[in-house]
Amino acid sequence: MMYDVIIKNARIPQGDNTIITNILVKDEKIAGFLDNVNGVNTKEIIDAGGHLTLPGCIDSHTHFMYQGFPHRENFLTGTAAAARGGVTTIIDMPCCSVPSARSVEQLKLKLELVEPQGLVDYAMWGGVTGEDVREGWLHNVQEQADYGVVAFKAYMTPSVPTFPRVTDPEMYEAFVAVAKTGLPIGIHAENFAMCDYFVKKFQREGRMDGPAWAEARMELAEKVAIELGISFAEDTGARLHIVHMSTGIGAKLVGEAKKRGLNVTSESCPHYLTLNYQEAMTKYGPLAKIAPPLRTKKDNEEHWEGINNGSIDFIATDHAPYEIESEKHKKGMNIWTSFPGIPGVETMVPIIVSEGYNKGRISLSKMVEILSTNAAKHYGIYPRKGAMHIGSDADFTIIDLDKRWTIDPKTQASMCGYTPLEGMELKGKVVKTVVRGHLVFEDVDSSTLKDLTDEELQNIVHKYPEGVEERYPEIFEEFPNLYSAEYEKSYRKEYPELIDEHIRKITGIKVRPGFGKFIKRESIQILPRIIRY
C-alpha cells in the first residue's frame, strides 16, 4: 500500500508514559502505527523528531470576530494563531459576528464567509438570546442542532448588540429548549444586577484603577450565577456548561453538582491559571480587561486543583482580541469604557505544557484530556477529533518539551498586538502542527502567507464571495455590508492595508487559506462525572 504521509519518530502518550512510533496516514485519517517503516511506501514524511506528539489540541471557545469586526481579527489570522499554537480544531462562538449566528440561515452565511480563510478545522456553537425567547424564535434551537452545531451559548450579562443577554426567566426558557436537543448550553455566568450595580458604584466613587474592574465584578457575581444555572439544569435536565469559569468557588460548585449526578461541566482558561488581577490589571490596565475578570492567586491554585479533581473538564481560551487604537487605548477611554477581551489561542497549549505538565501540576494523561480528548467528547466530535485511533483524523500537536521561549505579542498571528501574558517565560513550545495529515505549521520563518498577492488578499479577506448578497437578501437588507458600528469607527477601516501587512508577516504557515474544514457534530456524548476529593 502507498500511504500519503508517515509521521516519523513520534513520541505518543500511552497513559502517563510515552512510546516512540511512526504514524501511518491515508486519506487524511490515521491508518496505523509501526515501530519500523523501512520499506513502507509513502508520498511524504513529516519528522516529529522524537518530540511529544499529542492528538490534535482543541480550543472550544474562540471569538474570531468575522464577519462584522474585521478590524479586530478575521478567520485567517485567528486560525493562523491556532495553527501556530498547536490547535488543530477551534469551535467558534455565535455572538461576535454581524449578524450573530442564531439561526441556520445566519450560520450558513457565516460558514460561507469564513470558508476561504480557514487554516485549521472548525466547528460552531449555536446561539440563543433573550430576544429569541421574547420573539418566539426558539424553534431555531432545534434547527441549529439538526444542522450540526455542538452546543448553545447564552449570556447573563450584555455581550454585543446583536446578541442580547437573557434575563433569569428567559434563561430558564432557553434551558428548556436546549435540553430537548441533548446538547450543552454554555452560560457566561455573571449576575447582571450585581455587576451593573457595583460598576456604577465604583464609577461614582471615582475608581479608575485597573483592579477596580475585577473588584466591581466580584467573585460573588459568578458564584450566584453558577448556582442559578445549576438550579435550572437540575429542574430542566439541561446539560449546563460554565464557560470561562474564573473562580475557585465556581469549581467547587461544579464539583458538588457532579457529585449529585447532574450534567454540569466547566472550562478554565490559561489566564485564570496564571494571572492575578492585582498584578496584571495594575500593570496592563485595559489590556488585561476581560469578563469575567482575572481573580486571585488563590483562585489560580484552586483551578489547578479543579483540573486534577475533575471539576474542571478542559481548557479553552475565550480568544477575543480588540483593536488597541480604537477599543483599548483610544484617547478618552478608561478602565470602564475600554472593551473587555484578550487573545489566547496561540498560547493555550504552551502555557498548559509549561506551567502544568513541565512543572508537575498535571500528569501527561490529564494534559491530553484537558487539551484534546474531553472537549472532543463533550462537543460530539470524538473520535474523529481528540483521539489517536485508527480512522481518526490525522491531527497532531508536536511539542518540544525542552524549548524555552518568551511570549511576545509582536510576533503572534493575532492582529491585536497585545497580551497580558507578555514576557511570560515558558518551557515547551509547539514546533509542528498537523491537520488531517497535512503540515499546517512549522516553527520556521517561511510562510505561504508571505506570497499572497494583493488581489488574493482582497478576495480572501476584504471581499465577500461572489453572489453572497443575492443568496442571503434578507440578512443583507437588515445588516448592510455586515459591518459593525465599531468597525466603522476603527483604525484599520481607515488603514486596511495594515491587515494585509500583518498577514504577510505571520511565519510558519504551510498551507493556503481555505484549507480548514467545517466539522459538524457527529454524536451526543456525556463526560463522566468523576470527582476525586
Q: What is the set of domains in the chain, with CATH numbers? A: 2-50 (2.30.40.10), 54-440 (3.20.20.140)
The whole-angstrom separation of Cα 267 and Cα 314 is 5
Residue with cell 474544514: 517
Residues 214-230: pLDDT tens digits?
Answer: 999 999 999 999 999 99
Grid coordinates belonging to 250? 465556581
Supply the pLDDT for residue 529.
Answer: 78
Checking if the pLDDT of 343 tops 70, the result is yes
The whole-angstrom separation of Cα 212 and Cα 205 is 11
Checking if the pLDDT of 530 tops 90, the result is no
Checking if the pLDDT of 65 tops 70, the result is yes
Supply the pLDDT for residue 528.
Answer: 82
Checking if the pLDDT of 358 tops 90, the result is yes
Strands in 121-124's sheet, in edge-to-edge order, are: 57-62, 87-92, 121-124
Helix (H/G/I), strand (E/B), else coil: 444: coil
Asked if the peptide bond before residue 286 counts as cis, ω within 30 degrees of 0, the response is no
Give the number of other Cβ atoms within 10 Å of residue 473's Cβ.
9
Q: Which of the four pLDDT bands, split at 50, 70 and 90, describes residue 459?
A: very high
Q: Which of the four pLDDT bands, split at 50, 70 and 90, describes residue 9?
A: very high
Checking if the pLDDT of 532 tops 90, the result is no
Residues 227-271: pLDDT tens digits?
Answer: 999 999 999 999 999 999 999 999 999 999 999 999 999 999 999
Supply the pLDDT for residue 533.
Answer: 67
Residues 119-151: pLDDT tens digits?
Answer: 999 999 999 999 999 999 999 999 999 999 999
Checking if the pLDDT of 273 tops 90, the result is yes
Average pLDDT of the residues of the chain = 98
The whole-angstrom separation of Cα 504 and Cα 480 is 29
**CB under 8 Å to 390, separation ≥6 — which residues?**
29, 30, 31, 32
Q: Are strands 396-406 and 314-315 parallel, antiparallel or unpaired?
A: unpaired
Asked if the peptide bond before residue 383 counts as cis, ω within 30 degrees of 0, the response is yes
Residues 92-111: pLDDT tens digits?
Answer: 999 999 999 999 999 999 99
The more confidently predicted of residues 332 and 528 is 332
Grid coordinates belonging to 204? 461614582
Mean pLDDT of the region 381-404? 99
What's phi and psi for 440, nearest 5 deg? Answer: -95, -35
DSSP E strands: which ranges in 359-447?
396-406, 425-435, 438-442
Supply the pLDDT for residue 382.
Answer: 98
The whole-angstrom separation of Cα 358 and Cα 197 is 42
Q: What is the pTM of this model?
A: 0.98
The more confidently predicted of residues 501 and 525 is 501
Q: Which of the four pLDDT bands, split at 50, 70 and 90, describes residue 526?
A: confident
Q: Which of the four pLDDT bands, split at 50, 70 and 90, describes residue 205?
A: very high
Supply the pLDDT for residue 361.
Answer: 99
User: Residues 326, 71: contact at Cβ < 8 Å?
Assistant: yes
Residue with cell 464539583: 255
